[in-house]
Structure 1
């Protein structure tokens, strides 16, 4: 074996190799740190920590982990959906599952479709009920996610839940957005066990007015008759309790905990054993509140779907301001 002398060239090559190894390790560490930064940024997304809410909500992280295992429904308006949505989400507005043939104030305007029509519509959107369903919207809206879930649960799809924090929470979680519209294949769907206990009609309210508690979920200005949403006259149904649906939200657009919601309901005079019938203009905000009431143990909570539009549309019905 020959002995190699330590020449200046050998020392230079050794230094180059050591430097290269150091730079490689540094770059790998940098990549690791960069990846950690990306992951930590997703921690800004709200997490669902209240187990009592899990039958009605999932959070963005859960949805990311189960994206291919669920049916995703975007309940926002078509124009918002087209600006960007969760990959694979199908756009189902509350109107798509409701009777929009009558005019506002006429009987039946905006009410959920009949079982036969609802079955057909749900099937046309590719929903067969075999997968869990996650519905989302923008929390700044009118509670459209709750209204859609309310209708899906009427159809017997109890595996329908809402996205905690909605579209903004998905974005905060680093979730991807797309403008691509998924190809929806129509399927056969039939409502077997409709949950009619979720629904109240004008006739039902009149027949049980002394037994139920009416909850007006509109704004204070609507309740007191200072403004309206197109109803024939302003005001509220006599005896109704007022609780604005916005009071159910935290500043970040997430819904309050079950304990906080229960306290809020009790403070306005609603007990868990009460039959609470919520209403608004056409059952959107009240559909959302009905789902929250059910989540909080109000098993007899119902949504007056036709709401104040139908009530005020009949000049024979009493109204207070």
Structure 2
């Protein structure tokens, strides 16, 4: 079963790691603060960030351009490798990602690095607000990281395409992690078509966090997933509007021990580009 510490780090633990003298032990920090409707996360980064952290833009640096593959498709491997090396990401060296506190963009960054073949990536639980609340240092100084040597090798995380997502909805458990009104098709504030993939079950990713944005413990997550049929031996995957929020559910599934959980990266924004795909 997955160990929580493999995927999550608390502020005090991270501060202890960063205090080590050896740079071989201290993790590379990536600031991925992002909002769906803006303003840009770089403004937050410029105002203050964890010492040594490098900013990466989720849209421009960690995803491909929007189109038929959805609003946040997989990045080109060569482009991603160039971005990660410029940020100082090294092979076999730990990485910690953090965001504004809800864990969603950090989870997508975590998932993307894991998909790219990096095995030591963790999310700062509670993000930047938790770091500040713990009284830990913040700086506006811009770092100059040494270039990294990480080589992107796609395939490190399970991925679903549209056809596979459709089959999983009937043969396993496909979790739609959007808010219930969007799942039911009552409202659709972003995409041109409302509804959900037939057979998908609804479990909003907001159910996986405490009031302060930190992820629930593994037992609570397992119990919640079991309520929608995620049992041992049952294949499971997740989707949302564009594959960002669903990455947070995949992180929660990993914490619950389901390291085989797949992400439908294109999600609803890709599903509806083909009028022959059914909508419920």
TM-score (norm 2): 0.88
Which sections of structure 1, spanning at least 5 residues, go unmatched?
1-50
State the distance in 2 between where 1:222 and 1:276 align: 21
- Whole-angstrom CA distance in 2 between matches of 1:222 and 1:119: 35
Q: Which residue of 2 aligns with 1:295?
A: 255
Tell me the residue number matched to 1:139.
101
Query: In structure 2, how many angstroms separate the alpha carbons of the residues matched to 1:125 and 1:295?
Result: 27
Query: If each structure's helix is expressed as a fraction of its own residues, which one has the higher value?
Result: 1
Question: SS state of the match for residue 28, structure 2?
Answer: strand
- Kept in 2: contact 1:93–1:148 (CA 8 A): no
Q: Which of the two has higher C-alpha Rg?
A: 1
Partner of 2:186: 226
Q: Residue 92 of structure 1 aligns with which residue?
A: 56
Deviations 1:231-289 (A, max 9, x none): 12011111111011111111122110000000010012211322211001111110111
Q: Report how many aligned residue pairs link the two structures.
A: 265
Task: List per-residue Cα deviations over 1:204-251 (Å, max 9, x = no partner).
Answer: 224555323210001112111122242120111111110111111111
Following superposition, the deviation at residue 108 of structure 1 comes to: 4.9
Counterpart position of 1:310: 270
Instruction: Kindly report the root-mean-square deviation, in angstroms, between the aligned alpha carbons of the 2 structures.
Output: 1.9
Alignment TM-score, normalising by the size of structure 1:
0.77
Query: In the alignment, what sits opposite 2:30?
Result: 73
- The 8 Å contact of residues 114 and 157 in structure 2, kept in 1 or not, is answered as no
Partner of 1:200: 160
Cα distance in 1 between the residues matched to 2:169 and 2:179: 23
1:250 matched residue in structure 2? 210
Equivalent residue for 1:160, pick from 111, 121, 141: 121
Q: 1:314 Cα deviation (Å)?
A: 1.7
Contact 1:78 1:91 in 2 (8 A): yes
Q: What does 1:1-321 correspond to in 2, within 5 Å?
A: 52-67=3-18, 69-76=26-33, 77-95=41-59, 96-100=61-65, 102-103=66-67, 106-140=68-102, 143-192=104-153, 194-206=154-166, 208-320=168-280
What corresponds to 1:26 in structure 2? Answer: none
